[in-house]
Chains A and B, each alone.
Chain A
Amino acid sequence: MPLKVSHLPFVFLFSFFTLSCDSNLDIKPSQEIDEGTALDNDGNIKSVLIGAYANLRKSELWGGRLLLYSEMLGANNEIRWTGTFSQPREMLNKSILTNNTFVTDTWTVAYSTINITNNILDAISKVNEADQDKVKGEALFIRAIVYYELVKLFCQPYIAGNTEVNPGVPLILTPSRGGKNNGIVERYPIEEIYKQIIEDLSIAEQILPDTNGVYASSFAASAILSRVFLQMGDYASARDAANRSLNVALSIGKSLMTNYADAFNNESDSQEDIYTIQVNSQDSENAMQLFYSTPEYGGRDGDVSILNAHLELYETGDDRLLLFQERAGALRTNKWRDPNRNVKIIRLAELYLTRAEANFREGTSLGATPLEDLNRIRRRVSLPEKSSVNLENILMERKLELAHEGHILHDIKRTKGFVTDNNDPALKYTFDDPKLVFPIPEREILANSKLIQNPGY
């Protein structure tokens, strides 16, 4: 008996010595796939494209924070930050720390999105030929808007001039996969960045279809292009791009919503939407709603409140005033009230206002006269139509129409205005004040020896 039993361990032992070969150490992940697989066929590359949108929709980018940054830096004593988060408060107080996590995270998510689009563009030949234009156009669209958002926040305004010298951001057009770029890249001049953005968007506009569901379409590309030209002060090009976008959009049935309030808190895209970020209960992040809304609607504690100084800008009877409501102890805007609603990026109204302004500045009437476009906006909010128009009217209408939608800072900068300090109303920051520009994140300066920090940090 003992003899027999004593054989048992040997059986055990030898089976394990033989079974336990290398294959037991070769375990593949179950939730993720290898980068080679992700980029080697049509289906997977299209999934990676969805992944690029998913990155663009993150709260650090168009999921809301990019809009919030503009509102905080451009608060102008019209809104107040009362939340506990110090990152937006630093922006409001124009004392941003170089390790502000919102700033850092936006930078990193931006370049991660750029890297995905570069990977797609690099592997474009593996996409079915019939779909190559669409996939390429969408990738270019996403890359261009991320660069555009970066150059607006991290660099001196284009309008301040010296664009061949003033540093932009690192311009990366190749994927990092397989060591193709190690990320150690200097800041290219602002001019170069804008050139690339315009080139990408122009190609995208040409090769993208006119309708593309909730994804990038040709008129979304030209709409963004009109923003870019407006920011550069190239009014003729801005006018043309806005007009092209309007023409396509109207031809597929886009129009202003009858009630101003109906243009917001939409579960799916409204008639007025040119481009939005899709939000739903499965994927519910909307940083604007989080900070602007109140607890009963799933917001934080009502971190942003609207000050009377802002309300005083409206004419009496303006329907847009109906969107302000006392909630959680202070005045709030209802534009971002409900949870799980899309993030509005471009509405048709913006294109009318851009066309009006550009036409006015150029003395032209492409598509419509500035007065016609302006009155379109005023009529909708029950304001009397104007009989004549000046630049100030158009800019004020734009400010109020697009208030709290992430435009204020960039409009102040491009029109060479100023931002009033919230704590000390006597203190004004001019459009090119370095305090209105984000610092390059400290972690990035340390990781990339070629980067130079912005003045004032």
Chain B
Amino acid sequence: MKSNIFIVLALAYVLPTFSLAQNITIFGKVTSEEDGIGMPGVLIRAMETGISTATNELGEYRIILKKEANIAFSSMGFVPQKFLVENSMELNISLVPNLNSLDEIVVVGYGSTHKSSLTANISRIEGEDIANIPVPNFQETLQGRLPGVFVADASGKLGDGVKVRIRGTSSISAGNDPLYIIDGIPVTSSGSIDNSNPMAMLNMRDIASINVLKDAAAASIYGARGSNGVVVITTNKGFSGKTKFNVGIQRGYSSPTRKKKFLNASQYVALFREAGYNNDLAANIDPINRPEEYPDSQLQFVDNLLDQYAGHSDWRTGNVNTNWQDQAFNSDAGVTNVNFSASGGDDRTKFYFSSAYDKQEGILIRNSLERISGRLNLDHRLSDNFSFGANFSLSSTSTNTLPGDNLFNNPMQLVALAPISPLRDLDGNLYDRPTTIYYNNLIDSENSSWTTRSLRNLNNVYGEVKINKELSFRSEFGLDNITQNDDRYFGSLTATGQSSNGYGSSRWLKITNYTTNNYFTYKPIIQGNHDLEATLGMSYQNSETRFTSVDGREFPLDGLKTINSAAEIVDGTSTLTSSSFLSYFARVNYSLEDKYLLGISTRYDGSSRFGNSKKYGFFPAGSLGWVISEEPLLKDNAYLSFFKLRASYGLTGNALIGDFDHLGLYEPLPYNLSPGLSPTQIANPNLTWETTKQFDIGLEFGLFDDRISGEIDFYDKTTKDLLLLVPVPATTGFVSQRQNIGEMQNYGFEILLNSINYANKNLIWRSSFNFSRNINRVRSLSKDQTSIPPPYSSYLNGIFIDQPMAVFYGPKYAGVDPDNGDALYYANEDLSETTNDYNSAAKLFLGSPNPDFISGLTNEISYKNIDLLFLLQGVYGNKIYQAAGGYYSNNAYWFDNNTGDQMERWQNPGDITDVPQARIGQCNGCSASSRYISDGSYLRLKTISLAYNFPEKWNNKLKIQDAKIYIIAQNLLTFTKYDGWDPEVGTEALSNSFSNANLFQGVDLYSAPQAKTFSIGLDLGF
């Protein structure tokens, strides 16, 4: 056994040699299985080379190949067939009618099934569809491809989080991320240092398929963790046959999707001098017309500061005009990928081996990601009754990390600096405060380093035994180990290290997550038209997080960056936290005559995260399906080839809360270097999971021999016993308590349509369209509580009953008083009165950060050797709040550079504009209001790719099996009215630093725009 593996591995490294074969001619007749009549127009295509032909009117064909090949016979509405042909031969085949995509195998929890007999809602994409997309993690590739799945990257920063919401947001205070399962094992998807994305540690090219479990019938088998949906990923498997090698390379260039317009030096000077002068005039001082009043005037104050910000230059001459925004972006951004895989095996042992190198230079300065990964998947059948296998993967990721968006050393915050400030002084050193208004974080580029290195080891082994013909047992054990090391050094010139001769920090994190699944599958052989399949098993998972960090300062010189050199250790900690789940599950699927389908599943789940009296929960689901097209009435219908109705109802849970939220705890808190204890939370022994009740009714259909197929689902999902951080009076000594209280509803519909628009010998055009509408409403909170208003004065997200989660709430901006340039707000709900007093403005609902609908349209056109694919993706109806608007679009409140639109400010009585009069140091409309909310709808050409498959004669010359050269572009075009950087945004730092991560949705606070990437690549198979 062992030696076999080594041979296979050795083979993977040896380039096989090929001998030229003679031409092969394959001919024959294609008939329909149903009536035996010859089928015209059947496409016959050599898989490797793309050589193709079609049958004539009688169903006859002839194809000449240069060498052995896999050929595929395909026709609309029939199951395609594949053959490996090595010699010239007559090949007569009969095609079986097919249910097209309706009959693919989908992965369900603890098993898989045919899509046609499924009574649950599961969406699926194939790994090959996303393999070459130049993004750092697979989650971003899901955008626009699956109905009911909303995906938004937090920003264009590499390695940061991706928001994935399946059928809306179901929780207020607990997590809303789906459960991720890879090869049957729940994997770690959060908790890494600084919320870096653990999914960026996986090689996308290893993915065979992604199945998203959305309704209760599908997800309740995952019980207490199914409420947010489940993303089930399988990795590539080997196949029996000759070993296939694939090599791919890709190189691409990236740039920001959009930039924002800021004032240039002369506009900046004009704006701020005008602001100072306006203040003077208001105080009856006129320093311009009465120069004797210039001393101590506000104009003088502005001029003095402009002198300060201009450094060695003179702002009056306008020589310096620094575009600080451009400084934030990396001009050499791009992607590089090299990957290699080998797969093959015989009828007993199959293997898949891969290795890949990825490097992404971020669009922001100081941001890059490098990943080296390897995987070996092995499956071995020892006998007819026993098989086992193992998947090993290892990845090493190194990220040059950036701080949170809200920090001064976020490169995007460079836009705040004055365009009159030169980059460097006369000695060539970067200017810092007081010449720059804020810290010039370009100094970080020259005087700091911040690298996060992650090693992830994701392994699982399984054994499967057929106890008899009807009963089998499978045992799985998985280990997911993440080790992270985050080393930061901020030199003596940086803001962080300036006062302490450098500041260094070293952090280590280790998350060990192991799982075992053990289950029986029973599939009795029953006479007649009955089919039954039952699953029964248990699962145990334990996850442990260990963290150690040490911070030091006072470094002898900036060249010595490890903590060893720090003269003073200022902070050090070591923590341990863990949680566990113990579960039992069962499922029965029954079908009668392949027409009437029934599914029942249940899970009994226990978790350490809940109070002693409520540790266990029970999550049942039931579903029914009716394949109407199998009924005699419709069976021979010429148009309707497939029609199925299904409905499901069931319970799932959400346990994404802290490990010890149910306890009343004291944590160590020192004072005067003496150890102390301080209370952190109130006990709640009754704490348990959130429960989601979900009803789903779905319709699946195929028309015209499945040339058009689709799915429509309506669902209603109500989550109760929300794990709410209920605000309690601070007079208790605490601000909140985790309670099971409140209700949230998500309901909506999803449409998926697949069609083959055109198909002939040379040209195939396929489309897939999806559309999802989700309506989210908070239905109740704690007793007598109708809202959780925005908790911070500079943000507008709040929680209100019967409103969508995180709805924007606050003063509604009413523009500018034409008489005096005052910012106005509506004073009452019917918008009939306005006020210039922010505090007396009426607080109103200002829109929702959740989209009304999301949609995607994929078109694939294959013409001879050329494949063109493009994906349009759209999000509609959501609002975005620019939290930094109060800093950069504030008509000269303070000296931050302002956006270009501030040139439209009110200047003279009678001016009609939305930008108030400039007044230095006086907030004229700069407070949080609808002034900084704009429509976040967008339509994006998400992915476009054009591939050319080498013709066979080239391949022969090159002695390869197949080759493809392609160009691919991601985020090439964006259509939006959003006036910030990019409408796909969600400032992550807010979720990290504030207690309520789900609240700050649709907020843009100096977040980087998305990357637009244009790549060229080559895939070779031999």
Contact = CB atoms under 8 A, between A and B. Distances in A.
B499 to A, nearest CB: 3
B676 A30 contact: no
A30 B579 CA distance: 12
A47 B675 contact: yes
A136 B606 CA distance: 44
Contact of A214 (B608, B672, B680): B672
A281 B729 contact: no
Contacts of B606: 22, 25
Nearest to A93: B923
B385 A2 contact: yes
B731 A183 contact: yes
Interface stretch (A199-207, A223-231, A291-299): A291-299
B922 interface: yes
Given A25-B582, A170-B731, A181-B732, A284 B660 contact: no
Interface in A261-307: 278, 280-284, 295-299, 301-302
Contacts of B660: 29, 32
B218 to A, nearest CB: 25
A99 B678 contact: no
Contacts of B553: 281
Contacts of A95: 838-839
B439 A25 contact: no
A53 B666 contact: no
Interface string A9-52: 11011001100101011110111111111100000100111111
Nearest to A99: B793
Place the interface of chain B in its size category: 35 or more
B1 interface: no
A114 B788 CA distance: 25
B287 to A, nearest CB: 16
Contacts of B672: 50, 53, 214-215, 278, 280
Interface stretch (B241-249, B430-438, B588-596, B979-987): B430-438
Interface stretch (A104-112, A245-253, A349-357, A399-407): A104-112
B664 A35 contact: yes
A97 B839 contact: yes
A182 B783 CA distance: 14
B678 A183 contact: no
B576 A30 contact: yes
Contact of A9 (B465, B676, B788, B923): B465
B466 to A, nearest CB: 8
B383 interface: yes
B663 to A, nearest CB: 6
B921 interface: yes
Select the residue from B433, B475, B679 with max chain A CB neighbours within 10 A: B679
A448 interface: yes
A142 B728 CA distance: 23
A86 B794 contact: yes
Contacts, number: 280
Given A54-B676, A86-B793, A99-B793, A38 B734 contact: no
Interface stretch (B29-37, B480-488, B567-575, B1014-1022): B567-575
B386 interface: yes
B428 interface: no
Contacts of A31: 575-577, 667-668
B682 interface: yes
B665 A33 contact: yes
A44 B674 CA distance: 13
A48 B677 contact: yes
A24 B582 contact: yes
B665 A99 contact: no
Interface in B588-628: 606-608, 615
A36 B665 CA distance: 9
Contacts of B900: none
Given A9-B473, A35-B683, A101 B386 contact: no
Contacts of B386: 2, 5-6
A53 B608 CA distance: 33
A27 B608 CA distance: 6
Interface stretch (A159-167, A412-420, A439-447): A439-447
A100 interface: yes
A424 interface: yes
B670 interface: yes
Interface in A135-156: none
Interface string B653-690: 00000011001111111111111111110110000000
Contacts of A339: 499-500
Contacts of A130: none
A50 B671 contact: yes
B727 to A, nearest CB: 5
A278 B676 CA distance: 14
B678 A54 contact: yes
A100 B793 contact: yes
A232 interface: no
A32 B659 contact: no
A31 to B, nearest CB: 5
B735 interface: yes
Contacts of B733: 111-112, 114-116, 118, 175-176, 183
Contact of B570 (A9, A16, A38, A282): A282
Nearest to A297: B499
A387 interface: no
Given A2-B385, A99-B792, A116-B679, A12 B475 contact: yes
Nearest to A442: B789
A299 B540 CA distance: 50
A282 B473 CA distance: 56
A5 B382 contact: yes
Given A27-B578, A50-B671, A99-B790, A38 B666 contact: yes
B251 to A, nearest CB: 41
Contacts of A283: 670-671, 673
B473 A13 contact: yes
A32 B923 CA distance: 44
B799 to A, nearest CB: 12
B542 interface: yes
Contact of A6 (B385, B500, B886, B887): B385
Interface in A55-114: 55, 57, 82, 84, 86-87, 89-90, 93, 95, 97, 99-101, 104, 107-108, 111-112, 114
A448 B579 contact: no
Interface centre among B538, B669, B670 (most CB of A within 10 A): B669
B676 A53 contact: yes
A12 B465 CA distance: 13
B319 interface: no
Nearest to A7: B465
A170 B474 CA distance: 62
B824 to A, nearest CB: 16
Contacts of A423: 279, 921-922
Contact of B571 (A101, A282, A424): A282
Given A35-B679, A329-B308, A25 B607 contact: yes
Contacts of B666: 32-35, 37-38, 48, 51
23 contacts: A2-B465, A16-B540, A17-B538, A30-B575, A31-B667, A31-B668, A32-B665, A32-B680, A35-B664, A50-B675, A51-B666, A51-B669, A51-B671, A119-B679, A182-B729, A185-B729, A278-B672, A296-B499, A297-B499, A298-B500, A301-B439, A328-B433, A441-B730
Given A31-B667, A107-B730, 15 more contacts: A27-B578, A31-B577, A34-B663, A34-B664, A35-B665, A48-B666, A54-B669, A111-B733, A115-B679, A115-B732, A176-B682, A282-B670, A282-B673, A301-B434, A447-B727
Interface of B: 279, 283, 305, 308, 382-386, 432-434, 437-439, 463, 465, 467, 473-475, 495, 498-500, 516, 518, 538, 540, 542, 553, 568, 570-571, 575-580, 582, 606-608, 615, 659-660, 663-680, 682-683, 727-735, 784-785, 787-794, 838-839, 886-887, 894, 921-923, 927
Q: Which 7 A-B pairs have the closest CB atoms?
A: A115-B733, A50-B676, A298-B499, A183-B729, A329-B434, A183-B732, A51-B678
